[in-house]
Amino acid sequence: MTEMEQEDDKIYSTAGRGETFAEILARRVSRRGMLKGGTVASALVLSGPVLGRAAYAQGTPPALATPAVGAKLAFESIALDTGDEMVVPAGYRATPLLKWGDPLFADAPEFDPENQTAAAQAMQVGYNCDWIGFLPLEQGSESSDHGLLVVNHEYTSGELMFPGYASQGPPEEGSEEPTLVRNPTKELVDVELEAHGLSVVEIRRADGGAWEVVRDSEYNRRITATTEMELTGPAAGAGLLKTSVDQDGTRVIGTLNNCAGGVTPWGTIVTGEENFQQYFGNLVALAEDDPVRVIHDRYGVEEETTDRRWEEFYDRFDVAMEPNEPFRFGWGVEIDPYDPQSIPKKRTALGRNKHEGHTSVVAPGGQVAVYSGDDERFEYAYKFVTEGTYNPDDRTANMDLLDAGTLYVARFNDDGGGEWLPLVHGENGLDEAAGFTSQADILINTRAAGDILGATKMDRPEDFETNPVNKKVYLALTNNSRRTLEETDRANPRPENLHGHIIEITEAGDDHAATTFGWEMFILCGDPAQGSTYFVGFDTGEVSPLSAPDNVAFDLEGNLWISTDGMPRNLPGNDGLFAVPVEGEERGFVRQFFSSVPGAEVTGPVFTPDNTSLFVAVQHPGEGSDAIYNSVYEEPGSRWPDGDGPPRPSVVVIQADDSTARIGTSRA
């Protein structure tokens, strides 16, 4: 999550015509009356908004049950924690592996926060690590001792990166918190450009079980906001993608705001460009009835000066100078980590929005389905199904599968069913009369196409992952504090959805290429003591409280692991990582496994194939803590992980004390 998403007074267009999820859930609960394990009414009925942090049972967590022998998850839950150190259950250890500024090449300079340069940053681990992918070495193997980590670097926090970059200004009218006044220079902006993007890093497990970075690896690579990329698929070359420096509309410089991603069956990764709108300013320069301005406004491009002020140094971030440049961001970007010379490709067939997810799975018919969410309040959930089929024997034959296929948007029905609605030119009103002259128009302005089809407006669709064990699909919805009482009724669980929820989806026939599905509420997050939560019928007195689900992952048993983003605004604890069985008697038994540090969210959980190592990212430590609402370099909310100097976003590896034991499912 970027600082843009923390600004609750920042309201983007929510002009979608589809029903709200709250409306559907309320009617569904009314019709069914009961869900597995108990009455819905006791879990969902509220007389007003869901209460936040201040109402949390005087800061006392519920009594946490100890797992029984033979349980699907064998660790004992930790309690909520607000300290400046990581916390894991007894028998486990968490170790920073990749920290912002760590050198990746033999000739890369050591990290020097007082004297960062763009050239140095281009050879070091980037900032604000997010999604993580583990790809075994050798390629195609199941190695759990040697592999590549691919790490997204979502955005930069210049105020925490550079001395003197920002200061705390006076509060705005009606607020008690100080404002943040940024004063970037071109030199610092150039460092920020190189701190975005991704890092590809070779790692190896030593004889003692500890992981090490292979600094001189042939695979190590930085992909940044200045890396050349190719636009491919149906929208490539479209007029809206052309600029003064790319009159063909096929070449883009850089990738921005890389959030959740996924690994394809053929061993590439797809990284999602999420909140790209924050980098582009001066929309006011375009006429109000200009179609370009209308689309940019739907995606939240800044009316005037951006907070980052990059447009003062580079014309491509100034809509007045390059009105089409924002259209070249907001895509799923495919990258081959095994080929450091390969050109990243922005796959336009996946549609354009604030991308999260991109988990992919091979359907029974051989097509590949890619699930993704559009991470904003009242936006949509998507699935892309390839036209071609996956060839497990020929990697080269799969390398352009994502350029042709059908993009769908989800509609959740009140009877527990749903449809995947095809976003295809000429069908269902997606034609010239509606402003779409081609498939390219639909893919560039995907949100408006979803509006016309009446897709279901969701509460910030984030990660969207397939469970390889039970074949179901899990959609994390982080929160939506702007949903009003007028949009719901007493049966609606979230008139102001501060805590978020998770939906379990079953594709028809367990076919991920199907166009219909069933859905079930899996978890309504929050404080069980408030009586407004639901854990698929499990005793709420025994579960760990959690809020703001973000990224999800699965272990070899099919247990769901949930990282959180924004939990401290609602519960007295740092963001963390939680695990929950999805089958059996313990279905819904949520336990906290990891606690982060002040100001940070937890992202990108991923296991090695044998589940003996778990990688998580600690993103933006020290940012916007309770003590300092707008932290600056001189006074951060945390100095993790070094204890002095600036806080450093990092990838952490978690292992059992017995490094051969599976995480969470073996008794450490």
pLDDT in tens, 347-359: 999 999 999 999 9
> What average pLDDT does range 537-547 have in this prediction?
95
Q: Using 50, 70 and 90 to split pLDDT, how confident is the model at 68? A: low
Tell me what the pLDDT averaged over the chain comes to: 89
pLDDT at 72: 82
How do residues 564-573 score in pLDDT, each as one tens digit? 999 999 999 9
Q: What percentage of the chain has pLDDT greater than the value 90?
A: 80
How far apart (Å, rounded) are the C-alpha atoms in residues 50 and 382?
A: 28
> What average pLDDT does range 130-158 have in this prediction?
97
Q: Residue 112 half-sphere exposure, CB side, CA atoms within 13 Å?
A: 10
pLDDT at 33: 39
pLDDT at 488: 54
Residue 200: CB atoms within 10 A of its CB come to: 23
Confidence (pTM): 0.93
Q: Could you tell me which residues are beta bridge partners of residue 169?
A: 179
pLDDT at 42: 34
Q: Using 50, 70 and 90 to split pLDDT, how confident is the model at 492? A: very low
Q: Does 668 have pLDDT greater than 90?
A: no
pLDDT at 360: 97
How do residues 598-626 score in pLDDT, each as one tens digit? 999 999 999 999 999 999 999 999 998 65
Residue 344: CB atoms within 10 A of its CB come to: 22
> What average pLDDT does range 376-400 have in this prediction?
97
How far apart (Å, rounded) are the C-alpha atoms in residues 442 and 486?
A: 32
For residue 82, give every residue at least 6 positions away whose Cβ sits within 8 Å of its Cβ, in sequence order, or none: 568, 572, 573, 574, 598
DSSP letter (8 states) at residue 364: T
- Pairing status of strand 345-347 against strand 332-335: antiparallel
> What average pLDDT does range 136-143 have in this prediction?
96
pLDDT at 50: 39
Are residues 460 and 477 in contact, defined by beta-carbon separation less than 8 angstroms? yes
Instruction: Give the three-class secondary structure for 509.
Output: helix
pLDDT at 328: 98
Q: Using 50, 70 and 90 to split pLDDT, how confident is the model at 1? A: low
How do residues 416-428 score in pLDDT, each as one tens digit? 899 999 999 999 9
How far apart (Å, rounded) are the C-alpha atoms in residues 484 and 486?
A: 5
